[in-house]
Amino acid sequence: MKYGMRKALVVFLWGSLNLFAGHRITLSLDGLWRIADTVEAERLPAVFDYEVPVPGLVHLATPPFPDVDRFSSREWLHYQVVKKRLPASAETTATGISHQNRNYFWYMRTFRAPAPRQVAILEINKAQFGTAVWLNGRKIGEHTGCFAAGYFDLTGAIDWAGENRLLVRVGAHPAVLPPAIATGTDQEKYKWTPGIYDSVSLILSDNPFIERVQVAPRIETSEILVQTVLKNYSAKPAAFVLVNRITTWKSKAQVAAAAPRKLALAAGEEKTFSETIRIPHPVLWSPENPFLYVLESGTGGDSASTRFGMREFRFDTATRRAWLNGKVYFMRGANITLHRFFEDPKSGALPWNEAWVRKLLVDIPKRMHWNSMRFCIGPVPDKWLDIADEAGLLIQNEYFIWTARRWHNEWDVRQLINDYREWMRDNWNHPSVAIWDACNETVSPVLANTVIPAVRRDDLSNRPWEDGYNLPDGPDDPMEDHPYLFMRNQRPATLQEPHFHMTELEQTAMPRPNSSVHATAHALINNEYGWLWLNRDGSPTEVAKEVWNTVLPNSTAEQRFSLYAYLLGGLTEYWRAHRNYAAVMYFVYLTSSYPGVYTSDNFRDVEKLDLEPHFADYVEQAFKPLGVYIDFWQPTLQAGARKRFTVMMINDDYVLKSGTLRLVLDKPDGAPVVEREAPFELPGLGQQTYELDLPIPDVSGDFLLKAIAVAGGDTSPTISRRQVRVTKH
């Protein structure tokens, strides 16, 4: 290295160290806060006799407040009228009806600030319903969003020498916000619980302040595009040097750096700066290898760390597939409706227990062979996405709108665009966030024609958008499909729409869906199917009662658990084997469960996250990357006959899988009666169909038909099972 180059490098490194010396201080304000309630919006409480954890929800307050979360939403009331559970007079055009004698909750805590800095910003990551902040008796501002962070400038009100008294007011129910604000819509949600449900921090720095950073990977060129928004809160102009460097997350090893940039901001000016940084030989992020980097940014007065992964994700209409890092990728997974789980009697503080969340998002998905998850109708705390980044989950991130065909015309479109932008801003650096999901099962020209086109360019990673039951916005955007075949069994059978039986799946690539409103050639995401929900005690949920009366009347909880797992596993095998979906994600992995709910999850003990054993057995097999599906659902076989069975196999991995496929007819105790075997070979991402003849024993009784695939290198076989009865005529 020449002397001049060495000198330049030394100067650069020394300058970088100086620039990062003016680092940001982030003071966590999480913990126990005092809390009180009022009817009035501007009358500050005199006493705070309760306490509540932050992050958390108000129903965790001690002592408990009466009637917390009692609110009937407009969608829920309409649904009850449609189902004839309430008279038509129960309908409302308002956001909903509160059943509590309050409108607001007030959080209070005190803190002492460290040494004085030029900028003090309060960050409230997520709170509902609406947020207002006072510091030392001075009102700072308000934020109406319920699904994204609110930022409040405390600089002019903070006491750097003494104790500071911070008040945060949140709405006690959605109706406290103006009707023009979208506060979340879900016709199957009973309770609407307010609270600060994500972390609160005090950010201290000098000027210029780093407002936000966006990192967009470009894997083809081994680069990242960095967009940095800076603001000079000072009354004087600021000249500074912006430095960006990249390290690995775990080892902290520096792998790249940008040349320092001399910049300037006028007094009070905010400006966006962009630059491209090359990363030599980057390690790509994927569910199989969730490798993470950190971008360290510094201005001399402020610093910020932004974690990211080198990954690109898209859908392709020509192939109708998802593509991860330039390769076809099949998504397997489930759904989480966290805001429904909030109303579960056992939810408590579990959503903020890191060990519990890691088991939910890391341990169980790995065991169940899931590489993706849909966070459905309601956002999660930031920590959940941090964990998803580390676990290697691809997240379909859904905005909190489910209005079916009753759009809220009173919603302000400009406000919607702003709220979607804030929601994207908080999530776009997470490599786990792969899909923006605008809504659930909603038909809305407003979203399709106005909101999505207005915001999608803000995401420099150009993630795909899924837009409910609207036609796709972009040429390669996917569309959701909810083929609830068993839904037909909750109504009296007719010639036009008979009850569904699994025999309809035989030799059929795609039975007629009953949910999608558009035919489409775009990639399809099957992120809801089943309609066989059982509560954790084995009782049918509200919408599944009629189905169970048809499918298995007069049954015990154990019988229902067993059949539910068997059918759900079979449907999963079927949807995957025919390759008509880019993603298969069953509904629902986590939600609420108590008498009267519409859906339920599959936990035996949600506090310990113990899955119902039948579910864990069948569904774990159905989601294995090496998939096996017996294309046979007849209830009986003829004794003494010879039957040819079709077995479909798929390989979600990129490497060839070969081994032995066995077709076995077992007695109920597991003893094999007859079997046949054949070799199989599946290229990476391949699929193949095999036909095997099996002589049926000349004896009556109940048997279990099993297709067992054992591939070289795999630690366990994949098993597809069918319950059959052998009969003599």
**Spatial separation of the C-alpha atoms in residues 662 and 432, rounded to whole Å:** 37
- Check pLDDT > 50 for residue 3: no
pLDDT at 496: 66
Among candidate residues 580, 544, 579, the one with its CA nearest the CA of residue 561:
544
Architecture of the domain made up of 25-205: Sandwich (2.60)
The DSSP output letter for 249 is: T
Architecture of the domain made up of 627-727: Sandwich (2.60)
Q: How far is CA 660 from CA 645, 672, 690, 707, 715, in A?
A: 16, 17, 12, 10, 14
Per-residue confidence band for 7, with pLDDT thresholds at 50, 70 and 90: very low
DSSP notation for 432-449: TEEEEE--SS---HHIII
**Spatial separation of the C-alpha atoms in residues 689 and 707, rounded to whole Å:** 12
**Spatial separation of the C-alpha atoms in residues 22 and 303, rounded to whole Å:** 7
Residue 54: CB atoms within 10 Å: 25
Question: Which strands sit side by side in the sheet containing 672-682, from one edge to the other?
Answer: 636-638, 718-727, 701-711, 657-666, 672-682
- Check pLDDT > 70 for residue 260: yes
Q: What are phi and psi of 23, to 5 degrees?
A: -85, 160
- Check pLDDT > 50 for residue 5: no
- Check pLDDT > 80 for residue 187: yes
Buried b (16+ CB within 10 A) or exposed e, 630-654: bbbbeeebebeeebebebbbbbbbe
Question: Which strands sit side by side in the sheet containing 138-143, from one edge to the other?
Answer: 50-54, 31-38, 104-112, 163-171, 131-135, 138-143
Query: Mean per-residue pLDDT for 172-187?
Result: 95
> Which amino acid, 107?
Y
Torsion over CA: 614, 619, 625, 631 (sign): positive
Percent of the chain with pLDDT over 70: 95
DSSP notation for 232-247: --SSS-EEEEEEEEEE
- Check pLDDT > 60 for residue 300: yes
pLDDT tens sequence across 694-725: 999 999 999 999 999 999 988 899 999 999 99
Query: Mean per-residue pLDDT for 405-425?
Result: 94
Check if the beta carbon of residue 129 is closer than 8 Å to that of residue 179: no
**Spatial separation of the C-alpha atoms in residues 590 and 356, rounded to whole Å:** 13
DSSP notation for 159-198: -SSSEEEEEEEEESSGGGS-TTS-----TT--B---EE-S
**Spatial separation of the C-alpha atoms in residues 147 and 34, rounded to whole Å:** 23
User: Token pair of 251, please?
Assistant: 């080892």
Domains 25-205 and 206-308 fall in the same CATH topology: no
3-state SS class at 710: strand
Among candidate residues 306, 310, 314, 311, the one with its CA nearest the CA of residue 214:
306
**Spatial separation of the C-alpha atoms in residues 246 and 297, rounded to whole Å:** 9
**Spatial separation of the C-alpha atoms in residues 122 and 117, rounded to whole Å:** 14
**Spatial separation of the C-alpha atoms in residues 372 and 361, rounded to whole Å:** 10
CATH number of the 206-308 domain: 2.60.40.10
Cβ neighbours for 119, distance < 8 A, ≥ 6 positions apart: 153, 155, 203, 204, 205, 206, 207, 209, 233, 302
- Check pLDDT > 50 for residue 12: no
pLDDT at 131: 98
pLDDT at 16: 44
pLDDT tens sequence across 634-665: 999 999 999 999 999 999 999 999 999 999 99
> Which amino acid, 185?
T
Torsion over CA: 267, 270, 276, 280 (sign): positive
**Spatial separation of the C-alpha atoms in residues 268 and 288, rounded to whole Å:** 45
User: Token pair of 377, please?
Assistant: 């109708």
pLDDT at 668: 81
Lowest model confidence (mean pLDDT) among 256-265, 493-502, 533-542: 493-502
**Spatial separation of the C-alpha atoms in residues 591 and 589, rounded to whole Å:** 7
Instruction: Compute the C-alpha angle 699/704/707, nearest 5°.
Output: 120
Burial tier of 408 (Cβ tally within 10 Å: 0-12, 13-18, 19+): buried
pLDDT at 568: 98
pLDDT tens sequence across 199-211: 999 999 999 999 9
Lowest model confidence (mean pLDDT) among 80-84, 120-124, 241-245, 349-353: 80-84
pLDDT tens sequence across 676-693: 999 999 999 999 999 999
pLDDT tens sequence across 29-59: 999 999 999 999 999 999 999 999 999 999 9
Per-residue confidence band for 11, with pLDDT thresholds at 50, 70 and 90: very low
- Check pLDDT > 80 for residue 471: yes
Query: Mean per-residue pLDDT for 547-562?
Result: 97
The distance from CA 140 to its chain's CA centroid, rounded to whole angstroms, is: 32
SS3 breakdown of the chain: % helix, strand, coil, rounded to 5? 20, 35, 45
**Spatial separation of the C-alpha atoms in residues 413 and 92, rounded to whole Å:** 21
Q: How far is CA 723 from CA 79, 217, 502, in A?
A: 38, 49, 12
CATH number of the 313-623 domain: 3.20.20.80
Query: Mean per-residue pLDDT for 304-333?
Result: 98
Among candidate residues 407, 481, 482, the one with its CA nearest the CA of residue 451:
407
Q: What is the mean pLDDT of the chain?
A: 94
Torsion over CA: 448, 449, 455, 461 (sign): positive
3-state SS class at 676: strand
User: Token pair of 658, please?
Assistant: 């070969």
pLDDT tens sequence across 63-95: 999 999 999 998 889 989 988 899 999 888 889
Check if the beta carbon of residue 300 is closer than 8 Å to that of residue 459: no
Q: Which helix or strand (DSSP H or E) is residue 20 part of? A: helix 3-21
**Spatial separation of the C-alpha atoms in residues 576 and 720, rounded to whole Å:** 13
User: Token pair of 39, please?
Assistant: 């009817």
Burial tier of 421 (Cβ tally within 10 Å: 0-12, 13-18, 19+): middle
The distance from CA 662 to its chain's CA centroid, rounded to whole angstroms, is: 37
Phi-psi domain of 645 (left: phi exceeds 0; alpha: psi -120 through 50; beta: other)? beta
**Spatial separation of the C-alpha atoms in residues 630 and 628, rounded to whole Å:** 7
Domain residue extents for the chain: 25-205, 206-308, 313-623, 627-727
Cβ neighbours for 449, distance < 8 A, ≥ 6 positions apart: none
**Spatial separation of the C-alpha atoms in residues 434 and 523, rounded to whole Å:** 15
The DSSP output letter for 42 is: S
The DSSP output letter for 361 is: I
Residue 137: CB atoms within 10 Å: 9
User: Token pair of 89, please?
Assistant: 């007079």
pLDDT at 511: 62
Check if the beta carbon of residue 107 is closer than 8 Å to that of residue 134: no
